[in-house]
């Protein structure tokens, strides 16, 4: 799988951009602030329906424009050698529902494009996978889950919708109690929301547990490749409530229902849902110690890179090699890690690199090169 063409209209700094792409390595080189990352961000958006840089869509729209359009031509080659092209177009409109087209058909939802393009993105922000808060690691798991199983985007949306409704109910009840009111009708529907939350939450939890188990050996292998003899890496999924690890989705649902009942008084007092996948954690250990707070800067970088490399290998094993995006990551690495990472990804079907200066692109990643400056994208090699 590779992106054969990228077309932008009013996306970030680009009024218009047309970028033909080939398999292999492509590097976008130019000074900071010229729009290199905007190009790969657009490709990542088609794959995930989100940006690795911002949480909302508004910053993606060029100043003065009402909407942005990202169009990608995705080429897949089957094992028999047959090539198939899929044209994906997304219209991004802040404050309104985004629109999608697949092969010029309008009869699709934006989330229907998930799975048509799969990417693994390395970026300076990846250090937060190790050093950041639990939400960063939950997001990592959920984005990888959706890339592998696109229908889980709907499960995630259902869970977030139910969580929002349940929190609103608890907040109202908490405010009434502080004002001297009783439990009354405010909580009459809480058990119904408990059931909805447990069902969606159990499915999400079960898939996360399976994913962590699949990632564990791949992360260990990648870390050893990046930092030979650097220590054992261990991934541990930590639930927000006590209990044995569920063996099935049904067990997870029953455990979550029981946990919600156990903390009900605390939730009513605080006006907040206290247990569920939104409060779970992916623990990362290096040797006997947690990586967060104990790993050095270099070890943290190696761990973050190992998580991304493991994601790549997992998606690759599912069938269909993902596009690798390395967004200004080499400037953050020392020479040894830079060379090791370059060697490990050089053989991918398509690698897209951004760099401020040509020297930041390792020799192992020789290939096509574009100069990016003042909104122009010019092919040099």
The yes-or-no verdict on residue 365 having pLDDT over 90 is yes
Q: Angle, nearest 10°, between helix axes 36-48 and 134-148?
A: 60
Give the model's pLDDT for residue 319: 79
Q: How many domains does the chain have?
A: 2
- Do 258 and 149 have their domain in common? yes
The separation between CA 267 and the C-alpha centre of its own chain, rounded to angstroms, equals 30
**Residues 368 and 27: beta-carbon distance below 8 Å:** yes
Give the model's pLDDT for residue 35: 93
Give the model's pLDDT for residue 128: 95
- Do 357 and 243 have their domain in common? no
Give the model's pLDDT for residue 241: 81
The yes-or-no verdict on residue 80 having pLDDT over 80 is no
Q: How far apart are CA 34 and CA 55, in angstroms?
A: 21
- Of the three residues 267, 294, 319, the one that is the final residue of a domain is 319
The yes-or-no verdict on residue 347 having pLDDT over 80 is yes
Give the model's pLDDT for residue 242: 72
Give tens-digit pLDDT for 276-294: 999 999 999 999 999 999 9
What DSSP element (H or E) covers 338? Answer: helix 335-345
The yes-or-no verdict on residue 379 having pLDDT over 50 is yes
Q: What percent of the chain has pLDDT over 70?
A: 98
Give the model's pLDDT for residue 184: 47
Mention every residue, 6+ apart, whose C-beta is less than 8 A from residue 66.
93
Q: Mean of the pLDDT values across residues 100-113?
A: 92
- CATH code for the domain in which residue 207 is found: 1.20.1050.90
Confidence of residue 57 (pLDDT cuts 50, 70, 90): very high
- Do 309 and 327 have their domain in common? no
Q: Mean of the pLDDT values across residues 50-68?
A: 94
- CATH code for the domain in which residue 87 is found: 3.40.50.300
- Of the three residues 291, 319, 347, the one that is the final residue of a domain is 319
Q: Mean of the pLDDT values across residues 68-74?
A: 97
DSSP-assigned letters across all residues of 191-212: HHHHHHHHHHHHHHHHHHHHHH
- Do 157 and 269 have their domain in common? yes
Give the model's pLDDT for residue 343: 94
- Do 149 and 243 have their domain in common? yes
- Do 28 and 71 have their domain in common? yes
Tokens of 19: 């970028």
Q: What percent of the chain has pLDDT over 90?
A: 82
Q: Mean of the pLDDT values across residues 351-374?
A: 93
Give the model's pLDDT for residue 175: 86
> Could you tell me the pTM of the whole model?
0.92
- Of the three residues 272, 294, 319, the one that is the final residue of a domain is 319
Q: Mean of the pLDDT values across residues 315-331?
A: 92
Give the model's pLDDT for residue 167: 94
- Do 114 and 126 have their domain in common? no
Give the model's pLDDT for residue 375: 83
Give the model's pLDDT for residue 25: 96
- Do 157 and 300 have their domain in common? yes
Q: How far apart are CA 221 and CA 231, in angstroms?
A: 11
Q: How many other C-beta atoms lie within 10 A of the C-beta of residue 77?
A: 15
Give the model's pLDDT for residue 186: 60
- Do 24 and 128 have their domain in common? no
- Do 138 and 89 have their domain in common? no
- Do 207 and 349 have their domain in common? no
The yes-or-no verdict on residue 72 having pLDDT over 70 is yes
Across all residues in the chain, what is the average pLDDT? 92
The yes-or-no verdict on residue 325 having pLDDT over 70 is yes
Q: Mean of the pLDDT values across residues 83-98?
A: 93
Tokens of 266: 């605390």
- Regarding predicted confidence, which is higher, 79 or 251? 251
Give tens-digit pLDDT for 174-217: 888 778 755 444 677 898 999 999 999 999 999 999 999 999 99
Q: How far apart are CA 209 and CA 202, in angstroms?
A: 10
**Residues 150 and 111: beta-carbon distance below 8 Å:** yes
Q: How far apart are CA 181 and CA 263, in angstroms?
A: 21
Give the model's pLDDT for residue 174: 85
Q: How far apart are CA 379 and CA 369, in angstroms?
A: 6
The yes-or-no verdict on residue 168 having pLDDT over 50 is yes
- Do 244 and 342 have their domain in common? no
Q: Which of 7-21, 100-114, 222-236, 240-254 has the lowest average pLDDT? A: 240-254
Q: How far apart are CA 111 and CA 114, in angstroms?
A: 5
Residue-number span of the structural domain to which 72 is assigned:
1-118+323-381
């Amino acid at each position: 799988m590779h992106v054969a063409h990228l077309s932008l209209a009013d996306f970030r700094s680009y009024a218009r951009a047309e970028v033909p792409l080939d398999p292999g390595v492509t590097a976008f080189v130019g000074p900071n602030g010229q729009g290199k990352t905007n190009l790969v961000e657009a490709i990542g958006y088609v794959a995930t329906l989100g940006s690795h840089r911002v949480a909302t869509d508004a910053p993606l729209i060029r100043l003065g424009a009402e909407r942005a359009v990202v169009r990608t031509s995705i080429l897949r080659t089957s094992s028999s050698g047959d090539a198939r092209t899929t044209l994906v177009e997304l219209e991004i409109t802040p404050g309104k529902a985004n629109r999608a087209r697949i092969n010029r058909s309008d009869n699709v939802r934006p989330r229907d494009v998930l799975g048509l393009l799969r990417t693994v993105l390395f970026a300076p922000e990846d250090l937060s996978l190790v050093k950041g808060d639990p939400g960063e690691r939950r997001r990592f798991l959920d984005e990888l889950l959706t890339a592998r199983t696109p229908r889980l985007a709907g499960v995630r949306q259902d869970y977030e919708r139910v969580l929002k409704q349940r929190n609103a109910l608890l907040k109202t009840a908490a405010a009434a109690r502080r004002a001297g009111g009783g439990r009354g009708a405010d909580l009459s529907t809480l058990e119904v929301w408990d059931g909805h939350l447990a069902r969606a939450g159990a499915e999400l939890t079960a898939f996360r547990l399976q994913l962590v188990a699949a990632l564990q050996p791949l992360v260990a292998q990648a870390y050893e490749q990046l930092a030979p003899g650097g220590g054992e890496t261990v991934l541990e999924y930590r639930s927000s409530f006590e209990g044995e690890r569920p063996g099935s989705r049904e067990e997870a649902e029953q455990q979550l229902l029981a946990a919600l009942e156990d903390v009900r008084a605390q939730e009513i007092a605080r006006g907040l849902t206290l247990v569920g996948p939104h409060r779970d954690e992916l623990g990362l250990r290096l040797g006997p110690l947690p990586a967060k707070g104990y790993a050095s800067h270099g070890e943290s970088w190696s761990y973050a890179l190992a998580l991304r490399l493991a994601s790549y290998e997992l998606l690759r094993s599912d069938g269909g090699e993902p596009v690798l995006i390395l967004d200004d990551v080499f400037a953050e690495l020392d020479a040894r890690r830079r060379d090791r990472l370059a060697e490990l990804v050089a053989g991918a079907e398509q690698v897209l690199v951004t760099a401020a200066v040509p020297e930041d692109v390792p020799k192992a990643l020789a290939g096509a090169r574009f100069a990016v400056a003042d909104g122009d994208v010019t092919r040099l090699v």
